[in-house]
């Protein structure tokens, strides 16, 4: 028989008489301290059940094949990356938040991501959609117990968490995040139609560990090639391809209204490449541009990580 001095559990055993098969009856009586533990256990189970509830199917996007992104429009660039194959290059992107310890831990669990980069005049700074394997239950439990995080309803369904300008929405296989310029709460998931990916870019980025599409290519080219008469360009696509000795080749594709415009810019680029002293520009103008219909392809020589960083800073 349990001792009366036991303050957490009292177990009482009794048996029937010796002529019958032995049967043991156990009666359980909990004290107040055990009831308190039970209350905490129920609370934790409740939190876990909330965090494990089914999320809308709209959140399960295959970022490698999708034709639209769950972002607000207005970004100046969209970056796509294989987080495993391009990890060393991702660290070179001119995004200060990538140096954060928690962001690095998130990248370790990410397979592929897309990011929208906004100008300083926009209320957003970045919006990110990622695919991987995320500890949603643990993360949401931690945020629910931290007064610095506030839960809000997402327009796309489900809930997201906000703290000091950072908004996060998690599922087991996807993570969505948004960073604001002024600390406001921004829904990290934008329901359809979102941002439409140019069909030509989806074809262009295939098999690349890191690619980028520039929304306003004319402004970028006029900044890069100041003093040269750039009047029209429809698309600016950028991608990396692996090269020997841990280097990468850069391919830039420019799209135009017609072949005449494409040939005109190819002539300008050939002329500029022989006269520009800027080392960053010379990296992607080292080879003659190739005209293919209404597009111009520019292919660099194999570049080191330092050279790629210089080029990324020029573009982004």
Q: What is the pLDDT of residues 51-75, one digit of tens each?
A: 444 555 657 899 999 999 999 999 9
Residue 300 lies in a domain: yes
Residue 4 lies in a domain: no
Task: Say yes or no to pLDDT of 127 above 90.
Answer: yes
- Going by pLDDT thresholds of 50, 70 and 90, the confidence category of residue 177 is very high
Total domain count, the chain: 1
Residue 214 lies in a domain: yes
- Cα atoms in the Cβ-side hemisphere of radius 13 Å centred on 313: 11
Residue 258 lies in a domain: yes
- pTM confidence score: 0.79
Question: How high does pLDDT run on average in the chain?
Answer: 81
Rounded-to-integer distance, Cα 212 and Cα 312, Å: 10
Residue-level pLDDT at 154: 93
User: Mind listing the pLDDT tens digit for each residue in 200-247?
Assistant: 999 999 889 999 999 999 999 888 887 777 878 999 999 999 999 999
Residue-level pLDDT at 11: 35
Residue-level pLDDT at 21: 46
* Distances 223 to 188, 219, 226, 265, 275 between C-alpha atoms, Å: 31, 6, 5, 15, 16
Task: Say yes or no to pLDDT of 268 above 70.
Answer: yes
Beta strand pairing status for 124-132 and 150-153? unpaired
Q: Is there a contact between 198 and 253 (Cβ–Cβ < 8 Å)?
A: no
244-269 burial code (b ≥16 CB/10 A, e <16) = eeebbebbbbbbbeeeebbebbbebb
- Going by pLDDT thresholds of 50, 70 and 90, the confidence category of residue 279 is low
* Distances 230 to 104, 260, 269 between C-alpha atoms, Å: 39, 13, 10
Residue 175 lies in a domain: no
Residue 10 lies in a domain: no
| Residue entry with tokens 């002293």 | 277
Q: Is there a contact between 198 and 235 (Cβ–Cβ < 8 Å)?
A: yes
Cα–chain center distance at 295: 29
Rounded-to-integer distance, Cα 293 and Cα 311, Å: 26
Which stretch of 100-104, 122-126, 209-213, 259-263 has the lowest confidence by average pLDDT?
Answer: 100-104
The parent domain of residue 247 ranges over: 198-315
Residue 45 lies in a domain: no
Residue 95 lies in a domain: no
């Amino acid at each position: 028989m349990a001792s009366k001095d036991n303050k957490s559990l009292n177990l009482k055993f009794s048996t029937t008489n010796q002529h019958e098969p032995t049967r043991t009856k156990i009666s359980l009586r909990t004290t107040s301290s055990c009831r308190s533990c039970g209350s905490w256990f129920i609370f934790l189970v409740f939190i876990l059940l909330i965090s494990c509830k089914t999320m809308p199917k709209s959140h399960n996007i295959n970022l490698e094949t999708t034709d639209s992104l769950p972002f607000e429009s207005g970004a100046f660039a969209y970056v796509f990356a294989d987080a495993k194959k391009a990890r060393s290059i991702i660290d070179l992107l001119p995004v200060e938040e990538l140096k954060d310890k928690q962001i690095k831990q998130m990248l370790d669990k990410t397979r592929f991501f897309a990011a929208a980069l906004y100008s300083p005049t926009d209320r957003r700074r970045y919006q990110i959609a990622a695919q991987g394997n995320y500890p949603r239950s643990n993360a949401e439990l931690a945020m629910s117990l931290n007064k610095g995080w506030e839960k809000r309803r997402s327009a796309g369904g489900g809930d997201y968490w906000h703290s000091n300008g950072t908004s996060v929405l998690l599922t087991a296989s996807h993570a969505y995040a948004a960073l604001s310029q002024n600390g406001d709460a921004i829904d990290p998931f934008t329901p359809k139609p979102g941002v439409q990916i140019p069909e030509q870019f989806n074809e262009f980025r295939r098999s690349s560990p890191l690619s980028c599409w520039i929304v306003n290519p004319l402004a970028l080219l006029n900044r890069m090639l100041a003093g040269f008469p750039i009047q029209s360009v429809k698309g600016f696509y950028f991608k990396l391809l692996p090269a020997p000795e841990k280097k990468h080749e850069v391919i830039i594709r420019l799209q135009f209204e017609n072949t005449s415009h494409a040939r005109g810019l190819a002539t300008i680029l050939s002329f500029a490449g022989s006269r520009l002293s800027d080392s960053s520009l010379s990296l992607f103008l080292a080879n003659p541009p190739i005209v293919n219909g209404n597009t111009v392809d520019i292919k660099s020589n194999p570049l080191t990580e330092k050279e790629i960083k210089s080029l990324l800073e020029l573009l982004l």
